Structure 1
Amino acid sequence: MDDTAAAEIGEDNTLLLLDDDEPFLRRLARAMEKRGFAPVEAGTVAEGRTIAATRPPAYAVVDLRLEDGNGLDVVEMLREKRPDCRIVVLTGYGAIATAVAAVKIGATDYMSKPADANDITNALLATSEEKPPPPENPMSADRVRWEHIQRVFELCDRNVSETARRLNMHRRTLQRILAKRSPR
């Protein structure tokens, strides 16, 4: 890690990572550790609230939807316990309404999954006067669409008919999309 990144992070490099996707959480923790942060992992809202109450971190990356509740509850608690905490909210359910709600209660930034560790770091370290730089390798529109379809498919317990109904598309069209490889 270079000295400029360490200087930007500051002396308190504690980072709460709250996500119920364990493989993603582990990868992100390793990547953020390499960037100079001291990550603490949590997989539930309850764990996140406990960490926020007992040892509020300087930085946080919080998933919006968790199995036991809403990540915004943890964001609110972090704001109460540590007003200077820089918080990025991550979600696979990107919507303007949730982005506005997250920022209103104190999130520094709001990003859609899958998010790159560099993009998350840039968002955490951006000052309030400057915007973080745009992502180096943003997902193509086709990839975003594919990711959304895959997520809805998984949430519908891999039921093609139910997924097609919720996405308002023909079942055969959905089957063709699911049979193809993911776009770049």
Structure 2
Amino acid sequence: MNPQDAPHILVIDDDPAFNRVLTRALSQRGFAVFGATDPESALALAGQHEPEYVVLDLNIDGSSGLRLIEPLLQANPDCRILVLTGYASIATTVDAIKLGATQYLAKPADVDSILKALSATDVVIEDEVSAGPMSVDRLEWEHIQRVLAENDGNISATARALKMHRRTLQRKLAKRPVKE
């Protein structure tokens, strides 16, 4: 395949090491890959290369990556956007899909899972839905994620809305979410 004919993938993640590793791994799979660590360079690259695929981190330097979905789709309306996050929740999944993302994966995700999600025609749901009610811890996590999404990823505004100290909220967000 001619390198110029390779499908374009834009990786948007503010972690430079993760961005570099994922960019390299996708490049080795035959894609033309471009990496961005901030919204401004991501939108510039999207306008310049019109990527067929985008891997978008949900949290970019403390603000919501969901804000980038609309301008990315303006650059290429046929673009398939995968939201990749360490803060997976039902609320943010629904928001991402409503805004135009085609897939949503929780970190850590390997390259094969990312490629599978990007090429899937239906939303991939990896975990089975539990028959029982969610635990109090899971309900708290979902509520925090919903309020965080309403505040566009702003930690301070979310803490104020939840009537919670900012550091307490940061500690809760740093923990992995409970499964049920």
| TM interval, short-chain normalised | 0.5 to 0.7
AA at the equivalent of 2:121: T
What's the offset of the Cα at 1:165?
A: 9.4
Q: Does the Cα contact within 8 Å between 2:8 and 2:49 map onto a contact in 1?
A: no
- The match for 1:97 among 71, 91, 98 is 91
What is the DSSP-based 3-state SS (H/G/I as helix, E as strand, rest coil) of the residue aligned with 1:61?
A: strand
* One-letter code aligned to 2:24: R
Q: For structure 1, which runs of at least 5 residues remain unmatched after alignment?
A: 1-5, 136-147, 149-154, 156-161, 168-173, 175-184
Separation in 2, partners of 1:56, 1:132: 25
Distance 1:68 1:54, change over 3 A: farther
55, 61, 73: which one aligns with 1:61: 55
Distance 2:71 2:170 in 1: 38
| 4+ residue segments displaced more than 3 Å | 131-135, 162-167
1:71 maps onto 2:73 in alignment: no
Q: What does residue 25 of structure 1 align with?
A: 19
Higher RCO, Cα 8 Å, sep 6+ = 2
Q: Provide the rounded CA distance (Å) in 2 between the counterparts of 1:91 and 1:56.
A: 23
- Structure-2 separation of matches of 1:163 and 1:49: 33
- 1:76 and 1:82 map into 2 onto residues whose CA distance is 10
Report Cα offsets for 1:60-87 as digits up to 9, x if no partner: 1000111163222221112122111111
What secondary structure is seen at the aligned counterpart in 2 of 1:54? Answer: helix
- Which one has the largest radius of gyration? 1
8 Å Cα contact 1:45/1:73 also seen in 2: no
* 1:85 and 2:79 matched: yes
- Report the CA distance shift for 1:49/1:118 in structure 2 as closer, same or farther (over 3 A): same
CA spacing shift, 1:27–1:104, aligned 2, 3 Å: same
- Does the CA contact (< 8 Å) of 1:44 and 1:68 recur in 2? no
Shift of 1:55: 2.5
What is the TM-score normalised by the length of structure 2?
0.64
2:103–2:124 CA contact under 8 A, matched in 1: no
Query: How many Å separate the matches in 2 of 1:165 and 1:122?
Result: 32
Question: What are structure 2's unaligned runs of at least 5 residues?
Answer: 128-140, 142-154, 156-166, 176-180
Distance of 1:39 and 1:121 partners within structure 2: 13
Residues in 2 aligned to 1:16 and 1:80: alpha-carbon distance in whole angstroms: 14
Instruction: Check 1:117–1:65 CA distance in 2 against 1; reply closer, same or farther (3 A cut).
Output: same
Quick one: percent identity of the two aligned structures?
A: 41
Q: Is the 8 A contact 1:45 1:70 kept in 2?
A: no
State the superposition RMSD in angstroms: 3.0
Secondary structure at the aligned position of 2:117 is classed as helix
